[in-house]
Structure 1
Amino acid sequence: MDYVIEMLHIRKEFPGIVANDDITLQLKKGEIHALLGENGAGKSTLMNVLFGLYQPEKGEIRVNGKKVEITDPNVANDLGIGMVHQHFMLIDKFSVTENIILGKEPRKKGVIDIKKAEQQVREISDRYGLKVDPRAKISDISVGMQQRVEILKTLYRGADIIIFDEPTAVLTPQEIRELIGIMKTLIKEGKSIILITHKLKEIMEVCDRVTVIRKGKGIATLNVKDTNPQELAHLMVGRDVIFTTEKTEGHPKQAVLEIENLHVKDSRGVEAVKGLNLQVRAGEIVGIAGVDGNGQSELIEAITGLKKAESGVIRLNGKDITNLRPRKVTEAGVGHIPEDRHKYGLVLDFTIGENMVLQTYYKMPVSNKGILNYKEIYKKAKSIISEFDVRTPSEYTKVRALSGGNQQKAIIGREIDRDPDLLIAAQPTRGLDVGAIEFIHKRLVEQRDHGKAVLLVSFELDEIMNLSDRIAVIYEGAFIDIVDPKKTTEQELGLLMAGHRKEKVGEQSNV
């Protein structure tokens, strides 16, 4: 059998941990090969070895049958290997073209030939159906479009083997469909793809083979047509996984969150939330379904004090909290699991212990008269780590060293530990594996059952359908309808999210 990539018996160690322990992965030409595993299983580490970001302690890599030493990403590029990273490596202030050619600029008489570069980018974009504007500024384009720029970067450098690291973690359902189409086009053009993912539905739809790794070890390589999601989930986490969240009928009580006629502008000064009315009661989960960019972020930012409301009222337990500072909102009883855990949820170069007291560091017992009590801080962190199954060498570990799933568990543990009356969960399982998703869903339902109000914002329709007691569909900054998850379908929700109002929905009602 001819393989374009062979990673044989790879071992990669970090202080105190073996990330890859004797793993073998072989990629055939023209296939999409999934690399499946829990958060922290070693998937990204293995691909960073292939891309030259890490050097393995043992094992060898072969490209087209020839043994190679990939000492850095430039060597990987020269061998025809490109990588689309989970956290995009783009410069916001630069144009699409400037980002793509960075480090490999075409020159004319010693000067960068930007016209030629734009033409090359346009040609590659058209060939693969990427539909990217070469002159657009990165800060002005959607996340899905930024990902296409990352794909173009690899193609511009001549990659025949493309590694996709969790490519759908930040995409809307529509963008996921488009990305799958792009991947199929790349394969038709003779490329080979390694797809790092934990989304079983995508593996079943688009992949030819799958290699499963668990806790740094290779478990199995299977033909996708010969397996099923249940078997893959079991191989990945080492136990059976329940795909639907078990919950009893909710018994909502008094309104905890009340929003009346809320108007909020986005960062460009354009109205993003247009007269919203919303109620979330104690003992219920209200899900907000919508395509990204329809006002969800601005709504959450206004509730949590991160963005100023232009007009309208936000009440928590009957008290007006409109335009209070974030600390005052937190103290009033709001917990917030933010959609971007790196930007708003954590200080990556702080330890887990320090991150667990970001909202309470000025209170007893973790501080006394302005002096931090580190013994209490790390005692608190140890308790949250244990209760929320945060997998880490210790409470003294820097958060940057944790996998995305364990970072998310730490945030959720911190927010729930504060016992808020209202828990806002924005994209709570983005980028997480089935085991972590199951765990987090259970915790959100527990909050509801403990009489808390939960506001869930998610692009994952099955998550919204699974967890919500009521679903509010947002379109262009307004609620287009409120539906009962037991009486609707994903297809109906999809139509509403696209702005197709059901007949006789009438006036926007209080949610």
Structure 2
Amino acid sequence: MRNITKIFPGIIANDDVTLNLKKGEIHALLGENGAGKSTLMSVLFGLYQAEKGEIRMNGEVIKINNPNDANRLGIGMVHQHFKLVEIFTVLENIILGVEPNTMGFLQKKDAREKVVKLSEQYGLKVDPDALIESISVGMQQRVEILKMLYRDNEILIFDEPTAVLTPQEIRELLDIMKGFAKEGKSILFITHKLNEIKEVADRCTVLRKGKYIGTVDVMTTSKEELSKMMVGRDISFSVDKEPSKPEDVVLSVRNLTVASKIHKNNAVKNVSFDVRRGEIVCLAGIDGNGQTELVSALTGLEKSTGGTITLLGQDLTKATIRKRSTSGMSHIPEDRHKHGLVLDYSLEENLVLQRYFEPDFQKRGFIRFDAMRKYADKLIKQYDVRSGQGPTTPARSMSGGNQQKAIIAREIDKKHELLVAVQPTRGLDVGAIEYIHKQLVATRDAGKGVLLVSLELDEVMDVSDRILVIYEGEIVGELDPKTSTVEELGLYMSGAKRNVQKENSDGE
């Protein structure tokens, strides 16, 4: 890609960027949220057309007008926000657009055989008949990868592929990527995670605010040098915090049970725990062990089938979502598009979503737009939310990381006593992660309770004061991050240590 320039209203997303990809290499693309990485890859995949610049393949200039052109040229892409049809099965999604047919009749048998063969060959176990809406995000990502393999793509673009995965799934994915490279496939790997770049990438190109900063050999470049190239300043990789001073209970959950939408068993089984003021309690577990359902029951997105949820002594088990919100619960949701934002609303409208009915923002039922604009300007500045047109930017057009910052700004700034933060740093760069961790600690130090749900083991160990491990819908262990190891945490998360704990509790 030579001298690529892509312009959106109010912003130059790519400013004269050049990127060279060699056959059989894993080439990382690194940059802050909104640096222009996804835009550059979308130009290569034919989703956008560049205003300037050219793309060459094997020395020849090529024109990519749309993703079908890209696929014909052997270019495939796994997007940060998956492009899957939720009510279709895994198999239907994989063959979508290249359906095998005889005289117009769909022939799934051969396609199924090819998909099963590919999934076994690359260790991407999936159920071809499962509906997308009923499988975990990690599984959905496997479907996206199988879509590329099914089309025999040779250039594979991974946009933030590990943002939604568990540590075990990340391990598997990185191994799969190495396998692809060995076979001669060429990989472009967008990520913020420096450890992953160090582990799998051969070379790394860094973008900052849309401009090309440089391409380096990963082997000879330190994580500190990479982060400085990316952010333009030194970054602290450790979380600074004083020991916690827990006070009275903010959230009390007793014998909570939540039915599963996928199978007959309960997703959450008889779970009890407390969160106190002045502490960060982390719910750790491998994706799909009931965290999503537990949080949905706490925040009112789903009904529980048993047990009680008490916030500040008030029973909220059957309360509406607004009642929970106005009673002092803030929620940073797992899926920012589905539950965090109204994508077609502007940034300022999204920032007052849970407060527009307060006297500050309305008068006699009419929204006070001047007050909304002023409030949005304050949060944008305070939380460094970057967008092309400031408060009037459509939420849909912002980068994933800046969408996340907007949600965090809204939830932390509104009056709350409990912050439920689910994967708050998913898909964020090191600078933004550092900032959000500080916000979580500041929330704790201000005497609020924080319930953090995270799949990032480093985050679990660094940020939390107390770790509750969830496995198959049950709390199987409580650990102190100061005295526990990552290995021990991993054993609980995989269920290996669950029985020991159960025997102990039975014998007591």
Once residues 237 and 352 of structure 2 are traced to their aligned partners in structure 1, the CA distance between those partners, rounded to angstroms, is 33
Match of 1:76 in 2: 70
Once residues 309 and 215 of structure 2 are traced to their aligned partners in structure 1, the CA distance between those partners, rounded to angstroms, is 52
Name stretches of at least 5 consecutive residues in structure 2 with no aligned partner: none
Query: After the TM superposition, which residues 175-194 of structure 1 pair with which residues of structure 2 at under 5 Å, given as runs?
Result: 175-194=169-188
Match of 1:468 in 2: 464
The answer to whether 1:368 aligns with 2:374 is no
Match of 1:313 in 2: 308
Query: After the TM superposition, which residues 3-402 of structure 1 pair with which residues of structure 2 at under 5 Å, given as runs?
Result: 7-268=1-262, 270-392=265-387, 393-402=389-398
Q: Pick closer, same or farther for the CA change 1:374–1:310 going to 2, 3 Å.
A: same
The answer to whether 1:494 aligns with 2:500 is no
Instruction: Report Cα offsets for 1:267-310 as digits up to 9, x if no partner.
Output: 24631111111111111111111111111112111111222122
Q: Tell me how far 1:476 sits from its aligned partner.
A: 1.4
Q: Pick closer, same or farther for the CA change 1:183–1:278 going to 2, 3 Å.
A: same
Once residues 149 and 307 of structure 1 are traced to their aligned partners in structure 2, the CA distance between those partners, rounded to angstroms, is 26
Q: Tell me how far 1:381 sits from its aligned partner.
A: 0.9
CA contact (8 A) 1:481 1:508 kept: no
Q: Tell me how far 1:475 sits from its aligned partner.
A: 1.1
Once residues 504 and 161 of structure 1 are traced to their aligned partners in structure 2, the CA distance between those partners, rounded to angstroms, is 47
Once residues 267 and 408 of structure 2 are traced to their aligned partners in structure 1, the CA distance between those partners, rounded to angstroms, is 27
More displaced stretch, 206-215 vs 175-184: 175-184
Query: After the TM superposition, which residues 424-435 of structure 1 pair with which residues of structure 2 at under 5 Å, given as runs?
Result: 424-435=420-431
Q: Tell me how far 1:474 sits from its aligned partner.
A: 1.0
CA contact (8 A) 1:302 1:323 kept: no
Once residues 388 and 68 of structure 1 are traced to their aligned partners in structure 2, the CA distance between those partners, rounded to angstroms, is 41
Once residues 117 and 249 of structure 2 are traced to their aligned partners in structure 1, the CA distance between those partners, rounded to angstroms, is 56
Q: Could you state the TM-score of these two structures normalised by the residue count of structure 2? A: 0.96
CA contact (8 A) 2:418 2:450 kept: yes
2:465 partner amino acid: D
Once residues 506 and 105 of structure 1 are traced to their aligned partners in structure 2, the CA distance between those partners, rounded to angstroms, is 53
Name stretches of at least 5 consecutive residues in structure 1 with no aligned partner: 1-6
What SS does the aligned partner of 2:157 have? strand
Once residues 505 and 381 of structure 2 are traced to their aligned partners in structure 1, the CA distance between those partners, rounded to angstroms, is 44
Once residues 276 and 28 of structure 2 are traced to their aligned partners in structure 1, the CA distance between those partners, rounded to angstroms, is 42
Match of 1:414 in 2: 410
Percent of aligned positions with the same letter in both sequences? 59
Q: Tell me how far 1:508 sits from its aligned partner.
A: 6.6
Q: Pick closer, same or farther for the CA change 1:135–1:505 going to 2, 3 Å.
A: closer
More displaced stretch, 110-119 vs 250-259: 110-119
What SS does the aligned partner of 1:159 have? coil
What SS does the aligned partner of 1:115 have? helix
Match of 1:3 in 2: none
Q: Tell me how far 1:185 sits from its aligned partner.
A: 1.7
Q: Tell me how far 1:366 sits from its aligned partner.
A: 0.7
Match of 1:479 in 2: 475
Q: Tell me how far 1:131 sits from its aligned partner.
A: 3.0
What SS does the aligned partner of 2:392 have? coil
Instruction: Report Cα offsets for 1:120-154 as digits up to 9, x if no partner.
Output: 32333333332334333323433222222212212
Once residues 337 and 271 of structure 1 are traced to their aligned partners in structure 2, the CA distance between those partners, rounded to angstroms, is 24
Q: Tell me how far 1:164 sits from its aligned partner.
A: 0.6
Once residues 129 and 443 of structure 1 are traced to their aligned partners in structure 2, the CA distance between those partners, rounded to angstroms, is 39
1:467 partner amino acid: V
Once residues 15 and 218 of structure 1 are traced to their aligned partners in structure 2, the CA distance between those partners, rounded to angstroms, is 20
Once residues 296 and 117 of structure 2 are traced to their aligned partners in structure 1, the CA distance between those partners, rounded to angstroms, is 40
1:241 partner amino acid: I
Instruction: Report Cα offsets for 1:151-199 as digits up to 9, x if no partner.
Output: 2212222211110111111111111111112112212222110001111
The answer to whether 1:450 aligns with 2:446 is yes
Q: What do you get for the CA RMSD once the two structures are aligned?
A: 1.6
CA contact (8 A) 1:480 1:508 kept: no
Q: Pick closer, same or farther for the CA change 1:128–1:273 going to 2, 3 Å.
A: closer
Instruction: Report Cα offsets for 1:98-126 as digits up to 9, x if no partner.
Output: 22222222222332222122223233333
Q: Pick closer, same or farther for the CA change 1:396–1:507 going to 2, 3 Å.
A: farther
Between the two proteins, the alignment pairs up a number of residues equal to 503
What SS does the aligned partner of 2:119 have? helix
CA contact (8 A) 2:134 2:261 kept: no
